[in-house]
Amino acid sequence: MNQPGAPRRIGFVGLGLMGRSMAGHILAAGHELHVYNRSRAKADELLARGARWCDSAGDVAAACDMVITMVGFPSDVEQIYLGEGGIVARARPGTLLVDMTTSSPALAVRIAEAARAAGCASLDAPVSGGDIGARDAKLSIMVGGERAPFEAALPVLQRMGTNIVLQGAAGAGQHTKMCNQIVIASTIVGVAEGLAYARRAGLDPQTVLQSIGGGAASGFQLNVLGQRMIQGDFAPGFFIEHFLKDLGIALGEAQRMGLELPGLALAKGLYERMAARGCGRDGTQALLKLYEG
């Protein structure tokens, strides 16, 4: 496999809620940026700033030294990387491939093997921090892959995040993201239940948050998403439908390893009820609706 050098032309596939901001930071750093998204309108702002449009993910790979992807579901990842005319098929030897989608650890291993066979390098590098972390370039980035491509990608990853850790071989980034989502799943259930309790007890939730938000319960889920719950702001920083996808991957991996995680299973069931109510495009903080009717 050719070792990747410093990227000069960078491609970004997937310009959704987080991807647009992430790609924007790369463009602002002065890199030549090539972009593709299923809906071209989401690229308009970046194109106006000098990014270059490509007609497919494969076209992005053919034009670039480094390709970053941030799409929705593992099926999307599989299609754009391993499908006919996709990223692996079109990438030149030495290209660095970085999937930042939260996806399947097993798929990350398959992509790494296919990339290696094509003379390329790949990293699985899912992120945590939501829309705020993407906007402020303060994402936590969990990386799986080999050390050399990680070091080559690091200057670009540092444009998007502040906590960037190589966790191990291919798939390790995705496994680490599953740990993250498992912790969040039970935490956000606790936040919703605590605030629902506060209201039922006749307390002012804002005053309650002022007290418990500075104590042992403090954290992003309580202090940021809890505030949105109180305000009735259920706009997505992270879609419920995407969170459900993540919880399904995590639960499947846990079952494969013979690990029982009842908190994760409970959270998944609650979010499935939310999706059944048509709330899949709400933010994860909309879970409060279940408790308040």
Q: Could you give the residue numbers annotated as active site?
A: 177
Q: What is the 8-class DSSP label of residue 85? A: T
Pairing of strands 127-128, 139-144: antiparallel
- Which of 112, 38, 40, 33 is CA-nearest to residue 67? 33
Which runs of consecutive H residues, i.e. helices, occur in the chain? 19-28, 44-48, 57-63, 74-82, 87-90, 105-117, 130-135, 147-157, 172-200, 205-212, 220, 226-231, 240-256, 262-276, 288-292
Cβ(59)–Cβ(36) below 8 Å: yes
Q: Tokens in use for 58?
A: 């494969």
Q: Are strands 9-13 and 32-36 parallel, antiparallel or unpaired?
A: parallel
Place of tokens 């740990």: 179
Residues 6+ apart with CB under 8 A from 79: 86
DSSP calls for 118-174: TT-EEEE--EESHHHHHHTT-EEEEEES-HHHHHHHHHHHTTTEEEEEEEESTTHHH
